[in-house]
Amino acid sequence: MMQLQCPCCDAIFNIEEGFTSIEGKQLAALFAELEPHLGKAVLSYLRLFNPAKRGLKLSKAIKVVEE
């Protein structure tokens, strides 16, 4: 298994974990369609929707990216 390190919190996780849910796969597919510089800008934009006390739900992230 390929392991990744989160650039924000340094947590180690298997890459497959990010794609286990249907929503995770949908979000990954949306980002795969973007040019790298646009993907980086979209990630920064998504941070505006991230609740302070909990993580951003994948369903909300998908809606924002699709818009």
Are the beta carbons of 13 and 6 closer than 8 angstroms? yes
pLDDT 10s digits, 18-27: 778 888 889 8
Token pair belonging to 67: 């818009």
Inform me whether the pLDDT recorded for 38 exceeds 90: yes
Q: Where are the beta strands (DSSP E) in 10-63?
A: 12-14
Inform me whether the pLDDT recorded for 35 exceeds 90: yes
Q: Percentage of the chain surpassing pLDDT 90?
A: 25
Report the predicted TM-score, pTM, of the whole model to 2 decimal places.
0.73
Inform me whether the pLDDT recorded for 41 exceeds 80: yes
pLDDT 10s digits, 54-65: 778 888 888 999
H and E: helices and strands count for the chain: 3, 2
